[in-house]
Amino acid sequence: MNRSNRSWLLERDGTIPLYRQIEQQLRQRISNGEWPVGTRLPSQRKLAEQLGVNRSTITQALDELASWGMVEGNKGGGTRVVNNTWNRLAAATIDWDSYVESGAHQPNLPAIRQINEAEYDSSIIRTGTGEPGPDLLPTEHVRRILADTSDEPFLGYEEPKGSLRLREQIVQYAARQGISCSPESILIVSGALQALQLIAVGLLQRPSCIVAEKPSYIQSVRVFQSAGIGVHAVQMDEHGIQINHLQQQITEHQPGLLYTIPTFHNPTGTILSSERRAELLELSSSLSLPLIEDDVYRELWLDEEPPPPLKSQDRQGNILYVGSLSKMMSPGIRVGWIIAPVPVIDRLADIKMQTDYGSSGLSQYVAARWLADGHQEQHQTWVRQQLRTRRARLLAALEQYFGDIAQWNAPAGGFYIWLSLPTNVNVHRLFTLALREQILIHPGYMYDWQASHHIRLSYSYADMKQLEQSIYRLRQLVKQCMNT
Amino acid sequence: MNRSNRSWLLERDGTIPLYRQIEQQLRQRISNGEWPVGTRLPSQRKLAEQLGVNRSTITQALDELASWGMVEGNKGGGTRVVNNTWNRLAAATIDWDSYVESGAHQPNLPAIRQINEAEYDSSIIRTGTGEPGPDLLPTEHVRRILADTSDEPFLGYEEPKGSLRLREQIVQYAARQGISCSPESILIVSGALQALQLIAVGLLQRPSCIVAEKPSYIQSVRVFQSAGIGVHAVQMDEHGIQINHLQQQITEHQPGLLYTIPTFHNPTGTILSSERRAELLELSSSLSLPLIEDDVYRELWLDEEPPPPLKSQDRQGNILYVGSLSKMMSPGIRVGWIIAPVPVIDRLADIKMQTDYGSSGLSQYVAARWLADGHQEQHQTWVRQQLRTRRARLLAALEQYFGDIAQWNAPAGGFYIWLSLPTNVNVHRLFTLALREQILIHPGYMYDWQASHHIRLSYSYADMKQLEQSIYRLRQLVKQCMNT
Ligand SMILES: Cc1ncc(COP(=O)(O)O)c(C=O)c1O
Ligand SMILES: Cc1ncc(COP(=O)(O)O)c(C=O)c1O
């Protein structure tokens, strides 16, 4: 089930008892230095889960290792490596924990780490995952592209700003959305997330801060924080970011820029209205406030085309526009782009070269072919159709099971429904209970620490039958988590 | 010639004069906000070069723009955008220069930026480029892999540590080099450079420092410096890093780790001797000093297999081992790996997820297939053969043209020859003069600011005939640059 147990090669019906096999493999990891002296082992429960064995088998294996003096239990029930056969009397070992804890970059939120891990257990039902499910990916199309690669080399390094061929395609793609630009003002990145990362380390001074919607896409906020940049929240309503509150926050905090997701906002699904768009542009212009327009969901409109990007109205070069192929073509291909004034692009390209020498040339090659062949259009039409059906089914399930206890929006595009549960629901407890039943939810506090009774649902990933069943089950768990 | 002029669509034999076409396109870029008010335009010389027109044509176009009040020349001969049609009286414009200058990440050295740019002019002869030339890449092999991709999906996100299938292949690959590890202690990265970047932000506190060989791979040193970490240099001789000096530097600076390239060192080609390897491991162990072993050139031995990796002797988990497919299979595929204790890998995987959500799944898929099918071995044998011939030719050319004025090493593997010119040669001047003749050299001061009379040559990239001719020509230029 859990793919990671492929790391452990256990013979279930071999002659050597399981606990011995486990002991042997643990010992090997310890004497290899993969688990150096001082390392805390995963909990017995977790090991048992990972290896797909009973917890008592793990206990037996660890007891053996303890009798060799290699590990030691501590009061908290944890186990630590205390010796390895190679340096029984090792004078000094590196205290990796202290290294791990002292790096400048912040660790992910525990909830996100738990989610990242749980996602690779294929038996889990992912009710909030923000990516197209495997059945929505254009695998066959891309196979056909790959089957004929005779037109251009694809194994060498690309230019600092990314493959020119791909940037030319993006010029045309952007033009269809009303944005005019040339290849020099485009930087290819490894997904929109990297765009934000580059902006955070490349354009903002320390100390400084930015403003962003509340709630917002959690990873982006995190990227800025890890770069040592403060993030101040701006309130939203059903028309998007509130301009008054934005103005207040600007006056109070003097932010370096605004990060915004104006179209099919993550996690609320909101579209910034045309009036607000005009006001926002006006504000940006009059206060010289740069905007990051994160527009990765634009193509996922389901009812009607959303208003054009802010960037299409930007004649002054105030907007850093971010796009991506993740939500419509492939999240794993890691191709995104920034469209911005040339001096900004030059700077960000320089940093990108210093940190990873550019994005995968193979990915860029496939992306360029994908856009050039016009596959995108055809695929989009089909995906929209699929998503409309899924949206309807999820909304119907919510109506049926949550109609009496919760509120939500009916999104006009994107993947998300932002579900507001009764205020006395402990969402953290809900998360834990659901996970025990193989249902993975995205707690609202990931997107806004004050959103204590929200969850983000997505109709893009899970199998619809399973999603409907999960909604049914979640209702019961919600009832359980209401502290009445 | 220069591919970037594809950004400018000039009709050379159209009815509209060239200067008008250029004026129009410049104006468009300015009114789009690609070159916002305040932007310094590229120099006239550079624009002329980029567009492949006479400088007088550029001057004429800029004069036109100036008469519209859109640009203004300044005393230094530069040109700035001062207005655009959309906000003639624009109260405020964003001062992007101040953003570009205030980001935390350091800009690349000017020489490196110049090199990065020059490399995309296909008429330039690249005498120092550290990557396999297009004719050494296994394009046909990879085409065959891509032609049949029916075995596994490849468009979704991968696990935080990278594709398990690829990590399993790397377990086997590492085993052939004497390193035993399991998939949990491997992190897939977008090239070795990213490995260093993640270590810099993930494991080292601020302020702190590291030690590294002198000279060293410049980008790695840069990555640490940009993360706010000091780098202290340790002397090398023909057997590799000097253990005495290392000890001194450790005592004096208390570094967080040592970054070393023990096998086919960049740029000197040196192999750390077996005795030194033993001493280094002993030192690391007794002082609890972690090492980064950057081993990207290992497979490129030409005479005999080098000593096994330090990592193969590391039972304590003191070594962070870094490998890559860049030098042997494809620099553009951006696949590298770190092998290290599990707690370290967990930490670095977490940061990688936060910054780019993992490396291209498509690249990882192809890399895994490449390693699994055993293509690697066959290709390596062939590449070694090619490189032996090239090395012999470059050494012969040096003997012929530099025998009387320079010293160099005869490398037993890797790509590089470290050429030591007479001390009175001004290498910066040499760089400029050579570039005028379309010959791109890598000045030694990129690798060690004190290496003022060195250059790094490579026999991996350039066409051999052109390389030989360049050596001939360089001799004459060197003579010119000797301040006699
Ligand atoms: C608003 C927003 N921006 C960026 C991203 C990241 O996209 P990519 O996969 O291109 O890095 C996401 C993905 O969840 C997102 O929701
Ligand atoms: C010593 C060394 N390490 C790392 C790298 C970067 O390799 P990659 O392309 O895998 O990032 C290079 C490339 O020049 C190198 O010389």
- Of the residues A85, A103, A121, the one at which a domain ends: A103
* Residue A290 near residue B102 (C-beta atoms within 8 A): no
- Of the residues B352, B373, B394, the one at which a domain ends: B373
Q: What is the mean pLDDT of residues B291-315?
A: 97
Count of helices and strands (H, E) across chain A: 16, 15
What does the alpha-carbon distance between residue A263 and residue A312 come to, in Å, rounded to a whole number?
Answer: 13
Q: What is the pLDDT of residue B1?
A: 35
Mean pLDDT (chain A, rounded) = 92
Please determine, for residue B224, whether its predicted confidence score (pLDDT) is greater than 60. yes
* Residue B435 near residue B455 (C-beta atoms within 8 A): no
The 10s digit of each residue's pLDDT in B376-404 is 889 999 999 999 999 999 999 999 999 99
Q: Would you place residue A4 in the very low, low, confident or very high pLDDT band (cuts 50, 70, 90)?
A: very low
Place of tokens 């205020």: A423
What does the alpha-carbon distance between residue A217 and residue A237 come to, in Å, rounded to a whole number?
Answer: 16
Alpha-helix runs per DSSP H in B103-217? 110-118, 139-147, 164-176, 192-202
Please determine, for residue A89, whether its predicted confidence score (pLDDT) is greater than 80. no
Place of tokens 């860049």: B326
Q: Would you place residue A3 in the very low, low, confident or very high pLDDT band (cuts 50, 70, 90)?
A: very low
Structure-block tokens of residue A243:
């301009």
Residues near B318 by Cβ (< 8 Å), separated by ≥ 6?
A33, A36, A94, B281, B284, B285, B288, B289, B290, B291
Same domain, A297 and A169: yes
Q: Would you place residue B154 in the very low, low, confident or very high pLDDT band (cuts 50, 70, 90)?
A: confident
Q: What is the mean pLDDT of residues A209-223?
A: 93
Please determine, for residue B33, whether its predicted confidence score (pLDDT) is greater than 50. yes
Task: Tell me how close the Cα of B193 comes to any Cα of chain A, in angstroms.
Answer: 6
What does the alpha-carbon distance between residue B466 and residue B457 come to, in Å, rounded to a whole number?
Answer: 13
- pTM for the model stands at 0.93
* Residue A30 near residue A66 (C-beta atoms within 8 A): no
Lowest mean pLDDT among A241-245, B150-154, B333-337: B150-154
**What is the chain B residue with the closest CA to A175?**
B32
Same domain, A329 and A407: no
Same domain, A358 and A411: no
> Percent of chain B beyond pLDDT 70?
96
Sheet arrangement for strand A442-443: A416-420, A454-458, A442-443
Please determine, for residue B405, whether its predicted confidence score (pLDDT) is greater than 50. yes
Same domain, B126 and B60: no
Which residues in chain B are closer than 8 Å to A81, comparing Cβ atoms? none
Lowest mean pLDDT among A300-304, A431-435, B67-71: B67-71
Query: How many angstroms from the chain centroid is the CA of residue B440?
Result: 15
CA geometry: angle A470, A474, A478, nearest 5 deg: 175
Same domain, B328 and B413: no
Greater confidence (A60 vs B9) lies with A60
Radius of gyration of chain B (CA): 25
| Beta bridge pairs of residue B413 | B301
Q: How many CB atoms lie within 10 A of CB A399?
A: 11
Please determine, for residue B89, whether its predicted confidence score (pLDDT) is greater than 80. no
Residue B342's domain is classified under what CATH number? 3.40.640.10
* Residue B326 near residue B336 (C-beta atoms within 8 A): yes
Structure-block tokens of residue A349:
């390209």
Same domain, A49 and A122: no
Closest ligand (CA of B334): 2
Q: What is the pLDDT of residue B92?
A: 59
Please determine, for residue A56, whether its predicted confidence score (pLDDT) is greater than 90. yes
Interface confidence (ipTM) of the complex: 0.93
Please determine, for residue B88, whether its predicted confidence score (pLDDT) is greater than 50. no
CA nearest A226: which of A108, A128, A334?
Answer: A108
Residue B48's domain is classified under what CATH number? 1.10.10.10
**What is the chain A residue with the closest CA to B347?**
A100
The 10s digit of each residue's pLDDT in A311-343 is 999 988 999 999 999 999 999 999 999 999 999
Q: What is the pLDDT of residue A330?
A: 97
Q: What is the pLDDT of residue B4?
A: 44
What does the alpha-carbon distance between residue A89 and residue A83 come to, in Å, rounded to a whole number?
Answer: 8
Residue B9: HSE in the Cβ half-sphere, 13 Å Cα cutoff:
6
Residue range(s) defining the domain that contains residue B84: 3-103
Q: Do B99 and A142 touch (CB under 8 A)?
A: no
The 10s digit of each residue's pLDDT in B352-368 is 999 999 999 999 999 99
Q: Would you place residue B69 in the very low, low, confident or very high pLDDT band (cuts 50, 70, 90)?
A: confident
Q: Is B370 helix (H, G, I), strand (E, B) or coil?
A: helix
Residue A439's domain is classified under what CATH number? 3.90.1150.10
* Residue A284 near residue A320 (C-beta atoms within 8 A): no
Same domain, B216 and B256: yes
Q: What is the pLDDT of residue B5?
A: 53
Which residues in chain B are closer than 8 Å to A362, comparing Cβ atoms? 330, 332-333, 360, 362-363, 366
The 10s digit of each residue's pLDDT in A373-387 is 888 889 999 999 999
Structure-block tokens of residue B426:
């001004």
Q: What is the pLDDT of residue A92?
A: 58
DSSP at B125: E
Q: What is the pLDDT of residue A2?
A: 40
Radius of gyration of chain A (CA): 25
Which residues in chain B are closer than 8 Å to A95, comparing Cβ atoms? 288
Same domain, B327 and B383: no
Same domain, A363 and A424: no
Q: How many CB atoms lie within 10 A of CB A479?
A: 12
The 10s digit of each residue's pLDDT in A129-152 is 999 999 999 999 999 999 998 888
| CB proximity B204 to A under 8 Å | yes
- Of the residues A373, A399, A418, the one at which a domain ends: A373
Q: What is the mean pLDDT of residues B446-466?
A: 95
What does the alpha-carbon distance between residue A92 and residue A100 come to, in Å, rounded to a whole number?
Answer: 18
Q: What is the pLDDT of residue A1?
A: 35
* Residue B396 near residue B457 (C-beta atoms within 8 A): no
Q: What is the pLDDT of residue B3?
A: 43
Which residues in chain B are closer than 8 Å to A91, comparing Cβ atoms? 286
Q: What is the pLDDT of residue B436?
A: 93
Name the residue facing B360 among A137, A203, A334 (closest C-beta). Answer: A334
Q: Is B377 helix (H, G, I), strand (E, B) or coil?
A: helix
* Residue A100 near residue A94 (C-beta atoms within 8 A): no
Q: What is the mean pLDDT of residues B288-309?
A: 97
- Which of the residues B289, B354, B383, B460 would you substitute to probe the A interface, choosing the one with the greatest number of A C-beta atoms within 10 Å? B354
* Residue B96 near residue A317 (C-beta atoms within 8 A): yes
Same domain, A386 and A369: no
Q: Would you place residue B10 in the very low, low, confident or very high pLDDT band (cuts 50, 70, 90)?
A: confident
Same domain, A345 and A255: yes
What does the alpha-carbon distance between residue B105 and residue B103 come to, in Å, rounded to a whole number?
Answer: 6
B 63-122 → A contacts, CB under 8 A: 84, 86-87, 90-97, 99-100, 102-105, 107-108, 113, 116-117, 120
Phi, psi of A214 (to 5 degrees): -130, 115
Task: Tell me how close the Cα of B481 comes to any Cα of chain A, in angstroms.
Answer: 30
Same domain, A241 and A123: no
The structural domain count of chain A equals 3
Greater confidence (A332 vs B106) lies with A332
